Structure 1
Amino acid sequence: MRIDIEQALQKFNTKTFGRKNIIEKAESLLRADEQVLFISPSNIVITTVNTGKKNKLPGIFVLTDKRILFHCKVLFEETTETTELSKIDSINCFGNGLTGGHIEIHTRTKSYDILVSYKKTLMNEIKDTFENAINSYTQNEASGNIETDILQQIEKLAELRDKTILTEQEFQEKKQVLMAKLK
């Protein structure tokens, strides 16, 4: 089992008795460049926003530093749903000892209601983990976009230099200004 999965299971005190197979299946669906932040075998209600159709499914839910993933197997049918963290609009948590704890994740097309521990401190820790993952992902994505934009600008300047629209000195000066923005 991956170390990040073991750490997430331990951090959130997730019960795994009799669920090793589904955890192994979730592990096989993960990419090598992802880090698991939360994982839990759970029941989930997936609601399609435009139709209101609800599916109640048992399976495993995974939060990584890049996406959420839900996998379920009912009889002979397996389904996997993934959503990039940038597509998540909001997260809510609520619950009590009677209904259990719930983490709701809302996107433009679907909502996911994940059953979790009803302990308020644990629910809030799970919610904070989701929010921190989304914020980190958004910041990394934004800085990656800025870097790509600057590199594209330098390429355009090089084309202008090659067409003798800019001198070598002008190119180097503008390039230095853009490179300073990367630091």
Structure 2
Amino acid sequence: MREDTKKCIHDFQVKTFGNVKNIEKAETLVDESEVIKYIAPTNIITLSTSSLKKETFPGVIILTNNRIIFNFQMLNNNHSEIFPVSEIRSIESSGNSLTGGHIIIHTISKDFDFLVTYKKDIIQNIQRTFDTVRTNATSKPLQQVATISEADELAKFKNLLDQGIITEEEFAAKKKQLLGL
């Protein structure tokens, strides 16, 4: 397990019982140049903003300094939803001792709701971490942010479409956005 993963598990008091292998598998999606800021096994609820299709998956969420990664199993196949932090529109948190805590991430095409601890101070710390990473990603000078070409981004989203992770409509919307149409 990576050192930054161990630090996150400790700092956010993440329960890993029965999920160490899932966490290690999800870690393989993180580039060596990225720093893990938050990682946890959780239930993830996705809501597509275009179709209002709601799905729930058990998996692992990872926040790095550049991306958010949801890694989950579906029908014995490993799937991932990966998007840059810059696509986050807003972040909400809520929680109580009865229902637990929730972090809700609103992106351009989907909303992601995932379970966290019920402890209010940790929920607030998780939201602050997401807010800080988002702020840092959007405040970088333009020349540092624009290191990936539109063609590379389009190829990435085409790959997600081919894997069935995004719909044809989501791909078309992203293509229009990237090409400025």
Shorter chain as denominator, the TM-score bin is 0.7 to 0.9
Q: Under a length normalisation based on structure 2, what TM-score does the superposition of the two structures give?
A: 0.77
Matching residue of 1:12: 12
Name the SS of the counterpart of 2:16 in structure 1: coil
- 1:126 is matched with 126
Aligned twin of 2:66: 66
Of Structure 1 and Structure 2, the greater helix share is in: 1
How far apart in 2 are the matches of 1:69 and 1:82? Answer: 5
Aligned residues: 146
Cα shift at 1:142: 3.4
Measured in 2, the distance between the counterparts of 1:112 and 1:75 equals 20
- C-alpha separation between the residues in 2 aligned to 1:39 and 1:88? 17
Q: Does 1:2 align with 2:2?
A: yes
Q: Aligned letter for 2:139?
A: Q
Q: Normalized against structure 1, the TM-score is what?
A: 0.76
Structure exhibiting the larger radius of gyration computed from Cα positions: 1
Paired AA for residue 87 in structure 1: E
Shift of 1:118: 1.3
- Partner in structure 1 of residue 87 of structure 2: 87
Matches within 5 A, 1:3-152: 3-142=3-142, 144=144
Letter of the structure 1 residue corresponding to residue 132 of structure 2: N
CA distance 1:97–1:77, shift in 2 (3 Å): same
- Shift of the alpha carbon at 1:141? 4.7
Query: What is the CA–CA distance in structure 1 between the aligned matches of 2:76 and 2:8, rounded to whole Å?
Result: 29
Read off the aligned partner of 1:104 and give its amino acid letter: I
Q: Deviations over 1:133-171 (max 9, x none)?
A: 01111122536269xxxxxxxxxxxxxxxxxxxxxxxxx
Q: Once the two structures are superposed, what CA deviation does each residue of 1:11-50 show, in whole Å capped at 9, x if it has no partner?
A: 1010111111101111111111100000000001000001
Q: Structure 2: how far apart are the matches of 1:141 and 1:34?
A: 18
**Deviation sequence 1:75-103 (CA, Å, 0-9, x none):** 41221001101100000000111211000
For 1:142 and 1:129, locate their aligned partners in 2 and report how far apart those are by CA, in whole Å.
23
Once residues 124 and 105 of structure 1 are traced to their aligned partners in structure 2, the CA distance between those partners, rounded to angstroms, is 14
Q: Which runs of 5+ in 1 are unaligned?
A: 147-183
